[in-house]
């Protein structure tokens, strides 16, 4: 009952605010109208649906999904859409109360359909939601979305199956590219230091040691002890670079660099990685481009 009341409240607010919003949600007749939470899911859904789908992304490029809070216009779009696709696994933490108000036949929560044995958990038992950094898991995600599209739009099953097969071929090519680049690094050079713990799936797939200032969620705060401990580690192991992230402020990164410098170790910023969002440029505005750019940035700065 509480969830229903909350959803009704959001609905009322959304209609009150309609007149003050410039950009309105556009429902297109004759298409499958889908609202997705993240830019990664938006790209995947467009690849699978092509001209059959109209996709709205709640989170803009560069937005941190861990801290994203819905606007009234977002709730209105969710209500008006045919389907809603969310990552789940607590990635969209502040959207949960809204999403839980929708029935399962409209809401596709990807995390509920993934093989639990493939998921990663931290020492506190918290699941890592950054599944897109495991290309195999992203293939599983593609199949889950494809199946839901077919269930909703059965007459176009052949189209969705065709798009899915083609995209899986592209993802397999991506796996080959990533592995070829990673193999340029010796094992002792595979130490990835980042702003927050978003790359565990990547690290597991390619034998990287991972160290971050913040935990799985950017809502956690880094302490002075965390910063000092990481600075000690990079100085001891002579790590070349630390990486900032496009959706995470890098104030704490600067603190680690300064602390390492005091210890006589020069630590550079190796570049910007995309962790929780795609980019807006021609070389990072799709999932495949984003993965390639991340890998190139990591390898080129850790050699």
Paired tokens of 272 = 């910007």
Handedness of CA 50, 55, 58, 63 (dihedral sign): positive
pLDDT digits (tens, 9 = 90+) for 63-92: 889 889 999 999 999 999 999 999 999 999
- The Cα 60–Cα 279 span in angstroms is 10
Over 50: is that where the pLDDT of 4 sits? Answer: no
pLDDT digits (tens, 9 = 90+) for 205-239: 999 999 887 655 555 566 788 888 889 999 998 99
Q: Which residue carries 């929780």 as its tokens?
A: 276
Could you give the angle at the alpha carbon of 253 between the alpha carbons of 184 and 250, nearest 5°?
105
CB of 301 closer than 8 Å to CB of 270: yes
> pLDDT at position 9, please?
47
Q: Which residue carries 């409209």 as its tokens?
A: 106
> pLDDT at position 1, please?
47
CA distances from 121 to 76, 124, 125, 209 (A): 34, 8, 5, 16
Domains and CATH numbers, the chain: 2-177 (3.40.50.1980), 185-302 (3.40.50.1980)
pLDDT digits (tens, 9 = 90+) for 99-112: 989 988 999 999 99
Band (pLDDT 50/70/90 cuts) for residue 144 is: very high
> pLDDT at position 90, please?
93
> pLDDT at position 67, please?
86
């Amino acid at each position: 009952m509480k969830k229903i009341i909350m959803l009704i409240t959001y609905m009322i607010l959304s209609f009150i605010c309609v007149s003050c919003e410039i950009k309105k949600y556009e429902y297109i007749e004759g298409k499958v109208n889908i609202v997705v939470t993240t830019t990664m899911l938006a790209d995947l859904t467009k690849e699978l649906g092509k001209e059959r789908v109209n996709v709205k992304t709640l989170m803009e490029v560069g937005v941190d999904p861990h801290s994203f809070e819905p606007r009234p216009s977002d709730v209105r779009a969710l209500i008006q859409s045919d389907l809603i696709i969310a990552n789940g696994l607590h990635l969209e933490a502040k959207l949960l109360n809204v999403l839980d108000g929708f029935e399962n036949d409209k809401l596709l929560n990807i995390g509920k359909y993934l093989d639990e044995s493939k998921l990663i958990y931290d020492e506190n038992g918290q699941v890592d939601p950054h599944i897109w950094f495991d290309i195999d898991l992203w293939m599983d995600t593609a199949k889950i979305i494809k199946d839901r599209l077919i269930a909703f739009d059965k007459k176009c099953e052949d189209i969705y199956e065709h798009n899915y097969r083609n995209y899986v071929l592209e993802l397999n090519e991506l796996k080959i590219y990533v592995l070829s680049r990673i193999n340029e690094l010796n094992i002792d050079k595979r130490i990835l230091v980042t702003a927050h713990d978003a790359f565990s799936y990547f690290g597991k797939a390619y034998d990287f040691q991972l160290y971050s200032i913040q935990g799985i969620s950017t809502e956690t705060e880094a302490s002075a002890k965390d910063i000092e401990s990481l600075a000690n580690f990079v100085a001891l192991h002579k790590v070349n670079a630390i990486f900032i992230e496009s959706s995470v402020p890098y104030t704490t990164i600067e603190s680690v660099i300064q602390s390492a410098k005091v210890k006589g170790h020069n630590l550079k910023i190796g570049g910007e990685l995309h962790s929780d969002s795609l980019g807006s440029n021609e070389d990072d505005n799709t999932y495949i481009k984003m993965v390639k750019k991340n890998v190139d940035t990591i390898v080129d700065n850790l050699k």
